[in-house]
Chain A
Amino acid sequence: DIQMTQSPSSLSASVGDRVTITCRASQSISSYLNWYQQKPGKAPKLLIYSASSLQSGVPSRFSGSGSGTDFTLTISSLQPEDFATYYCQQSYSTPPSFGGGTKVEIK
């Protein structure tokens, strides 16, 4: 199975900051990488699929990049509603697997 590792596990940031979250796969997954946002008590919400494609309705301050084993989610200007936990997920092979999450907290 493919292991997904996210870093950092948590970060503190201020409104307006640029935030970058990293995800690394245990083997090459091409561009089969997806990002989710989860708020407390809610289901995860798809933000980015296929490494860099923005899901419909998701603000353009969210962007994704990378291929192979190393990927990045960037929030260009953090907004109050962006404080949440973010997960990456590989869709290259079965079983699909998730990273451990990055919690973005208010500084």
Chain B
Amino acid sequence: QIQLQQSGPELVKPSQTLSLTCAISGDSVSSNSAAWNWIRQSPSRGLEWLGRTYYRSKWYNDYAVSVTSRITINPDTSKNQFSLQLNSVTPEDTAVYYCARDQRWYFEVWGQGTTVTVSS
């Protein structure tokens, strides 16, 4: 059974960096058939896909245009996990953040969610 376990701070100050980690069990971050995503949800923006990392003989990343200048998603093969870094956050980045796995662009496994508040 594949499970995703999220961790990271729930309060981030404006202009700082939001950092979350998603630990994978039951699968490998280096899988040749899966991709590892970050999605967020807020009342104002609904469910919003942020980006993903995946391995197909080499590592690839895709990012949403809305955050492409501020986001980094990295795999960590030694710990079988992947991370999200979102720089220069503002209160508009306040949301519930989810990690999720997809194999064909539908998200069949999700993390538990992390409520992140951007506030001083």
For A32, what are the chain B residues with a Cβ–Cβ distance below 8 Å?
Answer: 105
CB neighbours (8 Å) of A89 from chain B are 47, 106-107
**Do the beta carbons of A44 and B110 come within 8 Å of each other?**
yes
Q: A94–B62 contact, CB under 8 A?
A: yes
Q: List the A side residues contacting B112 at CB < 8 Å.
A: 43
Across the interface, A87 reaches (CB within 8 A) one of B47, B62, B98, B110, namely B47
Bound-state CA distance A15–B101 (Å) is 33
A55 at the interface (CB under 8 A from B): yes
Residue numbers in B under 8 Å from A87 (CB-CB): 47
Which A residues between 20 and 57 are near B, CB-CB below 8 angstroms?
A: 32, 34, 36, 42-46, 49-50, 55
Residues on the A chain within 8 Å of B105, using CB: 32, 91, 96
The interface centre, meaning the residue of A42, A98, A100 with most chain B CB atoms within 10 A of its CB, is A98
- CB-defined contacts of B104 to chain A, threshold 8 Å: 49, 91
Whether a CB of chain A sits under 8 angstroms from the CB of B75 is no
**Which residues, 77 to 117 on B, are CB-close (under 8 Å) to A?**
98, 100, 104-108, 110-113
> A89 to B100, alpha carbons, bound, how many Å?
14
A67 at the interface (CB under 8 A from B): no
Bound form: Cα–Cα A50–B106 in Å: 9
A46 touches B62 (CB 8 A): no
Question: CA A62 – CA B112 in complex, angstroms?
Answer: 24
Any chain B CB within 8 A of the CB of A7?
no
Q: Which residues of A contact B (CB under 8 A)?
A: 1, 32, 34, 36, 42-46, 49-50, 55, 87, 89, 91, 94-98, 100-101
